[in-house]
Structures are given as C-alpha cells and as structure tokens.
Amino acid sequence: MIVVVDYGMGNLGSIVNMVRKVGGRARRSTGPEDLAEADKIILPGVGSFDEGMRNLRAGGYVAPLAARARDGRTPVLGICLGVQLFTRGSEEGAEPGLSWIEADTVRFRPDAGGDRLKVPHMGWNTVRPRRAHPLLPDPDRPRRFYFVHSYHVRCDAPADVLATTRYGVEFASAVARGNIVGTQFHPEKSHRYGMELMRRFVHDGPAGETAPAARPAGADRRTRVIPCLLLKGSGLVKTTRFADPVYLGDCINTVKIFNDKEVDELALLDVTATAKGRGPRLDLLARLANECFMPLSYGGGVRSVEDVRAVLGLGFEKVIVNTRAAEEPAFIRRAADAAGSQSVVVSIDAGRRRKGWEVRTRAGTRATGLEPATFARQMEAAGAGEILLNAIERDGTMEGYDVELIRRVADAVSIPVIACGGAGGLTDFAEAVNAGRASAVAAGSFFVFHGRRRAVLISFPTPEELADAVP
C-alpha cells in the first residue's frame, strides 16, 4: 500500500487518483502511525514551506517520516513542496526543513540568466535527466512536465541532482539519493509523461506503455494555452461581453474531452457563486478533479482561507479570486500565506471607460474605479502569483484580444499574466504573447464554438499547430 501523507497541503486527491489509474493501491494517511505499515510513501505539497513544516511537526510526522526515509528500503517520493521540504530550509521562511539532503530551497531571481523572468515559474517545461534512474530512464529522451513554483532546490552535491530544467537558470527539477526521490514538477498533472513516471514508482520498474521516444511537438513551447470554462449549475455556458449565456453541455463530459486532448491547463469559473452568496461547490469540483490528470484552477465564491484549502485539497493547483480581491485586498495576503503565492490567481475583469479601463467586480456589474495595471501591482504586492486578465468588451466576440490592455498590465508586474477575452484564432494567441507580453493565453468561444453559426463543438489545436503559432 502506498501512503500519501495528508498534512493539509493540497493536491492529495489527484495523486491518489493517478496511483489507482496506473494500477496501484493508495490512501491518504490519517496519522503518523500509518507510515509504519506503508510499502511506499508519497510526500506531496502545494503551499508555503513554513506552513508545510509546521503542519508536519504538529501532526507528529517528522520522526516517522525520517525513520522510513533513512531505512534505505522504503521508496519515498516528494512532489513540488514535498521535495523542497527534503532540504535544510527555504528562503521563503525561517522554519528548518527535514534535512534529508544537503540542499537549500531558493527563490527564482526575476533577472536570472539575463532574462526578465515572470515568477512563479508556471507551465510546461522540458526535464533533462542527468543520469538513468528507475523513474526517469533513458536520459536522452525528452519529457515535458507541469511546473508551478517560485522556489527550487539547490543541492550541495551534484550527485544528488537527478534532472535539470532551464528557467532563466538551470535548476534541479528532480533529485535522488538512495531510496528518496523528489520532483519539482507535478507528475500527477503531467498527462502521459506523469503517468509513466508514476507507473514506474508504483511498480518498481518498467512502465508498460511509455510516452513517445521522439521529441514531442512543441517541446520548447513555453506559452500555456488554457480553455476557460464557465460553470452555471452543473452545466457549462459561454457568454458574450459577460451577457447572453449559451448552454454548452455537461461540465463533466467537457472536462473529460479536454483531458483526453491533453490541454496545457484548464480554468473553471463559477459565474453564479458570488451573486448567490455561496461558496465553491466542492462535491462537483471533486468529481471534476477525479476525471482528469491536467492542471486545474477554479474561481467562484472563494471567500475564506478554508475555501482555498478545500479547493486545493481536491486536486486543483490554483484558486482564482475576483470580487473578494477588490473588496478585501488583505484576503490575498492571507490566502498566499496559507497556500503559497503560486496557488493564488487574481482575476481582473477590465471594462472600457472614456479614458482607459477600470476594474469591475461581481461578474462585471460593479464598477470599482480601480485602474487595472495599478490594481495588478497591488495584488502582486499582496501575494498573488498570477493575474487572469479578461477584457469585458472582447469576451466571447472572437475579435481578438485587447493587446494594449494586456501589455499595460503585463509590463506593470513581474508575475505571469494570462490574457483572456476575444481570441478567435491562433494568430490572436501569438499577438497576445509577442505584442502584449502575456505569459499565457486563455479562451472560451474559440474552443467550444465552430463556424459562423457558432455550433457547439469542443476542440483544441494539435501540438503541431500550437508549436507553429505560439512561442
């Protein structure tokens, strides 16, 4: 039995689901005593280093984990925050780490490598093994995995570095020493490559059906292309300029289709939660998370740190906050302190006014008087890790992004900006990135409508199409 350590730091559901998907048996821990009976252990994590260590100590996990990690026999896999906890400590805080390897956790520098990096590092990137390992055999074979992090592990001993990835600098994206191994990326959200790695961990070796050996199309593409879906009840709708919702179909089936198409990421926004004064529908979100092995973000009715933790605990990587961010900016700091900045996205709905734009809330119905770029800077300072920028007048029109708005906001912050509202073709994606300096692009109508009559048809470009069009 594989035990997934439950210490209140997110993404456990997705890991348990993937272990079962590849033919293994897994369950969440209910206490430290479970570790003694585990055949293998997974230490996952999404959030801040200090809270992770405090939770491990408060739960009584530190000593039992160390005993199994140091017995030389029990395979232990750390994922994302989990691998960072292997180290002596983090620049993120003051808590000492587990110190299983001689390493420190350090923050990406925005000016690293001569590039002006957007931090956090979010999206898909190439992992290059330095040596063969049961989880990453064939060092010459390229693999793409999903990352979402602001910090990375810096090892004292080069021998502990299993694989590296470049983001401004070359950093350790996987480490290994004896029976412990850790990945900075999320295998449980990395489609076929993640499934192959997890299958090898579960079955101690050959992964059966493996991902292609050839260099994948778009292996160097950094820009995430994100379907943005609007939840209304248990169905999906698509609006035009935030009005006139058109019913698209059942949300579960649509998410399954996008999962099968291996999209980069999926954003789900409940457009009625705030208006109805309710929180996230956790039962529905759990069903959605169980259906897919891709990165997920959710927004709608997120009003408390408990909401944030609950959504992340279901297997979502990020929460999206809109109205609450404008009405109580301090909430973003509390959410980031609890979950880490990389897990907190502030959504800005921007509407045109006589001179420029202003931020609107409550599904675009309430004017705030806030200027989007200024507000984005405030949200970055408060702890947001990403901005989802939606141009209200372009929403659903398929007439192209508001590139001037995107560039204004993207130039104002050092965190990634997702452009949304108006995409009608692949050239619009390229323009938002090249001219607007967006880090990622999102769209709705482009992925769900077909032809001039806007017939409902769920689609997504092929890797080859995206590789040719998007940097």
Residues identified as active-site? 349
Residue 117: closest CA among 399, 415, 383, 357: 415
- For 229, 305, 369, the CA distances from 361, given in Å and listed in that order, are 18, 20, 11
Coil vs helix vs strand at 24: coil
Pairing mode, strands 121-129 and 143-149:
antiparallel
120 upstream amide cis, omega within 30 of 0: yes
Coil vs helix vs strand at 410: helix
Cβ neighbours around 223 below 10 Å, total:
23
Strand partners, 123: 147
Dihedral, CA of residue 60, residue 66, residue 72 and residue 78, to nearest 10: 90
Cβ neighbours around 369 below 10 Å, total:
8
Token pair 């698509």: residue: 238
- For 39, 80, 211, the CA distances from 137, given in Å and listed in that order, are 22, 20, 12
Coil vs helix vs strand at 73: coil
Angle between helices 12-21 and 282-290 (to 10 degrees): 40
Write phi, then psi, for 62 (nearest 5 degrees).
-60, -55
Write phi, then psi, for 26 (nearest 5 degrees).
-145, 150
Reduce the secondary structure of 446-458 to three states and give it as a string.
HHHEECCCCEECC
Reduce the secondary structure of 181-214 to three states and give it as a string.
EEECCEHHHCHHHHHHHHHHHHHCCCCCCCCCCC
List the structure tokens of 160.
């502990």
Fill in the amino acid letter for 117: L
